Structure 1
Amino acid sequence: MPRITVNGNELYYEERGHGTALLGIHGTPSSAMLWEDAAEELSAYGRCITYDRRGFLRSAPSPPPATLDLAEHVADAVGLLDALSARSAIVVGRSTGGLIALELAHRHPDRVQALVLLEPAVFSLDPAAAEWAGQLRNSILKVAAEHPESAAEIVLRLALGDEAWESFPWELHHMFSETSPAVLAELTGQGLDLSENPLVITERELAAMMQPTLLVSAEDSAVPLWLANDRLAEALPDARKVLVSGGHLINPAHPAVLEFIRRVLAS
């Protein structure tokens, strides 16, 4: 399994294809394992790089970290691009990965050619979404106090619904459960969507972000998951919003995403 040391941490990563870098950042709880089919499709358009974020699954140290912060995830994304000699990338982020991608573009604009944000978990942009995220956080902490191994399951049941969780095969249940320590570390960290102190980004800061951006929402997602994209569409200078079928686990290689990447590459 390919691994690389970034900021003192060993990260699992995969590369496919050649050309412009396409960096995929997974959500919470998750892993690059869920991006394998999409990465194959994306590799037809460039050098697709996916990885397990610090603390998650194949990038999990022993013992697991007590806290994980947004700033650490952003630094790891930059460090991974550096280590793989990729000066900049089109960045595709899903859920928490979308939050990380947005902050990467904010803090390091020269490293991001364009953004694809699949229901990014930037709940602080909207009061109703922030309230929903706070309730989600409290529910996870309540259950995890007695059953920490269930943290990932609770996130997915609350965000996707019980029916979606029950539909996953045993292998996915096991994979998600293995990420529970990282879920709890992010809850106790800073700046992430379910942290006590999530990222606060202003309209002025968003207005200064000039990267072409595709905002993707899903028809069957909970309404709070749409709200961040609504606010981002209003604030970002070069953003377009699309609605696709299905739920929150939006395909990173959805046809709308591939069409956007083609347009970015052509320009």
Structure 2
Amino acid sequence: MRITTDDGVGLDVTDHGEPPSPAGAPMLFVHEFGGDQRSWAPQVRHFARTRRCVTYNARGYPPSDVPADPAAYHQGRAVADAVAVLDALALDRAVVVGNSMGGFATLHVGLRHPDRCVALVVAGCGYGAHPERAEAFRADAVALADAYERDGSEAVARDYGNRPARAPLRHRDPAAHAEHLRILAEHDPVGAALTMRGVQAARPSLFDLREDLAGMAVPTLLLVGDTDPEALDATLMLSATLPDAGLAVLPRTGHLANLELPGVVDALIEEFVGSVEGRGSTLQR
């Protein structure tokens, strides 16, 4: 299906439907820069049996629209788009699940719209967040944007998709890694470049948001691979800062934990969300 945001951008949304006997809150999945909604296929297969699952392509990722205006791409817009999907499907509250760029958006949904969140699952979140590495991260993001415009998506995919934090997927599941590279190569170069500059390079550092994060009471599961060093560093800070967070560090796992260890990730999410919903039921009695 297709929805339209408040600034007139069309987003491609897949509502995977209500299972015959839904067991809990619906789930909204927010993808990373290097993927799209297809990157959540393992989780959708698992959770759609018992929950309503919704995925979507961010702006700049066809078949969603690719606005040409750079001002249409920023962290606040990514948050507003996630909420727009909830609104369009008349979902008052959901479990919001995000990886990497989607993890940043998920955290910000929790900060700005806690009333729309049953719980958050934030995976692989933190690249460029540490103040000592912020300048280098922004320079790399701008260089990637330039590469998309100069060389095209297929060339960027060969480099970006084989970076060290993504290599564990290649070693663990070559077929899943090949699919990841195929999705990367299909990125719209204009949308990818604008997303890199407007969302990735310009997003606020999580370390600068610690005061706000310390006041965010939404239950949050933090997932990170131990071979994803920049995300690990920021995730440990989040674990120490958020008032209601659980942390799972996955061994010998990189930046794409949901694809590298889908069964483990599914089980962790299921146990976490079940505990949150169970706690809510106890409080209501």
Native 8 Å contact 2:33 2:101 kept in 1: yes
Deviations 1:8-40 (A, max 9, x none): 222111223345121110000211112122112
1:261 Cα shift? 1.4
Larger mean CA deviation between 240-249 and 143-152 belongs to 143-152
Q: Which residue of 2 aligns with 1:71?
A: 76
Quick check: which one's helix share is greater?
A: 2
Residue 202 (1) aligns with residue 217 (2): no
Residue 123 (1) aligns with residue 122 (2): no
Native 8 Å contact 2:46 2:266 kept in 1: no
SS of equivalent to 1:127 = coil
The one-letter code sitting in structure 2 at the alignment partner of 1:177 is A
1:112 Cα shift? 1.4
Larger mean CA deviation between 161-170 and 150-159 belongs to 161-170
Alignment TM-score, normalising by the size of structure 2:
0.80
1:187 Cα shift? 2.4
Q: Which residue of 2 aligns with 1:20?
A: 25
How has the CA–CA distance of structure 1 residues 141 and 86 changed in structure 2, closer, same or farther, with 3 Å as cutoff? closer
The one-letter code sitting in structure 2 at the alignment partner of 1:91 is V
Which of 103, 110, 121 in structure 2 is aligned with 1:105?
A: 110
Native 8 Å contact 1:140 1:154 kept in 2: no
Alignment TM-score, normalising by the size of structure 1:
0.85
Q: Which residue of 1 aligns with 2:186?
A: 178
1:185-264 aligned at under 5 Å gives the runs: 185-189=194-198, 192=199, 194-195=200-201, 197-200=202-205, 201-221=208-228, 223-245=229-251, 246-251=253-258, 253-264=265-276
1:140 Cα shift? 1.9
How has the CA–CA distance of structure 1 residues 143 and 163 changed in structure 2, closer, same or farther, with 3 Å as cutoff? farther
Corresponding pairs, count: 259
Gaps of 5+ in 2: 280-285
For 1:73 and 1:225, the matched residues in 2 are separated by 20
Percent identical residues = 27
1:55 Cα shift? 1.3
Gaps of 5+ in 1: none
Deviations 1:89-123 (A, max 9, x none): 11110000000001111111111121111111363
The one-letter code sitting in structure 1 at the alignment partner of 2:38 is M
How has the CA–CA distance of structure 1 residues 50 and 142 changed in structure 2, closer, same or farther, with 3 Å as cutoff? closer
1:54 Cα shift? 1.2
Deviations 1:194-235 (A, max 9, x none): 31x3214422101110011111111332x1121110110111
Q: Which residue of 2 aligns with 1:35?
A: 40
Native 8 Å contact 1:65 1:182 kept in 2: no
For 1:65 and 1:173, the matched residues in 2 are separated by 27
